Structure 1
Amino acid sequence: MAIAASDAHGRLIPPGTILSPEYAFYFAAERQKPMAYFRGLHAPKLYEAIAHDGQPAESAYPYQDRVSAYAKLVLPQVAANAPIYRRSAIPMALADLKTRLMGGITPVLHLETTEGFRDINQHAGVLEYSANDPVVVRHAVVAVGLGKNAAGGEYVMVRNSWGSGWGLNGHGWLSETYLKHRYKGGAYYTP
């Protein structure tokens, strides 16, 4: 969730600046106590952290690839002159998604992801809804585009944080029906 929120937030700051999701994660985890470190964040706590504590550039507080599950939570410190970007997220209903995308806004989508989502490459990067597709985990992605198939079915292109090996170079098309059943909330940032 911290990566998706950072991605959406980052589209509104100086070009070329990549925000630190790690920084936002730690401040959100502090707000969420008690926190089971590897069980994820609650969206309101993450958005609260980005609004109040902000985020520096990734270069000021880089990703920590080796953190013990039992490590004591230590809030990040950055250089005094490092810019900190703060912005409040606005909650979003699924019905508002198309309007936001058409307006150039990059929303964060909170989803119940399924086996099909995890294995989207088996579906050529396009995921339809199936009642038989079991839910695996909640996850956040960023909506980046709209499209239709030849039959007129509507889809939303999402960018996932699982790397370029997922879907179409890190992106996938989710059907409107999939989103209708799996969308659990969302938010967006405005300039």
Structure 2
Amino acid sequence: MNEKFNSVVNNCQVVWRLVHVFENVISVTRNDLCAGLTVGVWLLAVLCASVWAELDSRLDQQWEQWKKTHKKKYLNEVEELGRRALWEKNLNHINHHNLEASLGLHTYTLAVNHLSDLTEGEKFQNSAPMKIPEDLTPTPLDVTVALPANVDWRKSGYVTSVKNQYDWCNSCWAFSAAGALEGLWAKTKGKLVDLSPQNLMDCSKKYGSYGCRPGFMHHAFQYVIDNDGIASEASYPYEGKNGICRYNSNSRAATCSSYKRLPEDELSLKQAVATIGPISVGIYADTIKHYSSGVYNEANCGNGINHAVLVVGYGTDQDTGLDYWLIKNTWGTGWGENGYIRLARNKNKMCGISSYAVYPV
């Protein structure tokens, strides 16, 4: 391991020159033909810019088990060294945080997962906070009934299983939109059907959202309205990559007639979740990558929008007394609380939770 590490370090000066060239010329995703070269170069630079310390050999067995568990394969030794360094850095942060949590300094815990060898920049590549279209006018709800203290639409059969969008595809908007449509269809038709995010990814390009690029859920709803339908997951399965639209009306599984945006306050979101069903929202997700359990209450979570999720309920945590939003994510069941996160509610729009909330009708 020492010889490999030293070999990496000796190439630092060359690497930094290459990185400056690439970062000004190429925008990289894992699907690009040049991904192997640029990812390797970038990771080498990350490793060289670190604390110049050797990797902790005491973690070798844990590293190998983690790779096996998450089926990790790397392009070469250079990439693996870089990934290992990132993984160790994340592991140290997680252990430190959880120690503080055990002392009552935090209301949530962290854990390593399939994202632990990625940087925030990779996970949210091309996902800088997005500007919500100004012409998307909020529509207040007219709710006069008392709202329940707790809501969980999973118990009513309005929520399908947790999915995984894959690390390299920014298709969260399509999953969030599909989830809201699934809830609408289950509530109005009494039938819960897994709908196709891939259908939305492939076919809503003219509306401004396409494939593995960041997008907006209302674009997906508009496509479904104009197309008079969306396919089921069974007939149009997820591929995690850009594709050609191949929707067939014979495979239509659900529809909607319009959509609405909520005002940017948490009371409006609570009213909608309680009376309508699962709601598509945008959040700032850079800091939740390693969330494991508890109520995520973190003052440094930004208010910009760079990730789409589905609010399926709300409640109050019995241990901490914190109000929370119950949120379905699309990073697999190994992340968070079986794929869900409880995000602090009534905490000044934690992570931008109510900044962009939309639902189909």
Normalised-by-shorter TM-score class: 0.7 to 0.9
Does residue 27 in structure 1 map to residue 27 in structure 2?
A: no
Does residue 55 in structure 1 map to residue 230 in structure 2?
A: yes
TM-score (structure 2 length as normaliser): 0.45
Q: 2:184 maps to what in 1?
A: 12
Q: Which structure carries more helix by proportion?
A: 2
Any conservation in 2 of the 1:2–1:46 contact (CA below 8 Å)? yes
Alignment of 1:1-191 (within 5 A): 1-13=173-185, 14=189, 15-32=191-208, 37-53=211-227, 54-65=229-240, 67=241, 74-78=244-248, 80-87=249-256, 88-93=258-263, 94=265, 95-115=267-287, 117-121=288-292, 124-131=293-300, 133=301, 138-150=306-318, 152-176=321-345, 177=347, 179-183=349-353, 184-190=355-361
Tell which has more relative contact order, 1 or 2 (C-alpha 8 A, sep 6+): 1
**Runs of at least 5 residues in structure 2 that lack an aligned partner in the other structure:** 1-172
Identity, in percent, stands at 21
Secondary structure of the 1:2 match is helix
- Tell me: CA distance 1:102–1:38, structure 2 relative to 1, closer, same or farther (3 Å): closer
TM-score (structure 1 length as normaliser): 0.79
Deviation at 1:38, TM superposition (A): 3.4
- Tell me: CA distance 1:42–1:108, structure 2 relative to 1, closer, same or farther (3 Å): closer
CA distance in 1, matches of 2:326, 2:253: 30
Matched positions, count: 178
Any conservation in 1 of the 2:303–2:351 contact (CA below 8 Å)? no
Larger radius of gyration: 2
Any conservation in 2 of the 1:19–1:58 contact (CA below 8 Å)? yes
**Runs of at least 5 residues in structure 1 that lack an aligned partner in the other structure:** none
CA distance in 1, matches of 2:282, 2:304: 13
Q: CA RMSD in A?
A: 2.6
Any conservation in 2 of the 1:114–1:137 contact (CA below 8 Å)? no
CA distance in 1, matches of 2:321, 2:262: 25
Any conservation in 2 of the 1:29–1:41 contact (CA below 8 Å)? no
Any conservation in 1 of the 2:218–2:259 contact (CA below 8 Å)? no
Secondary structure of the 2:255 match is coil
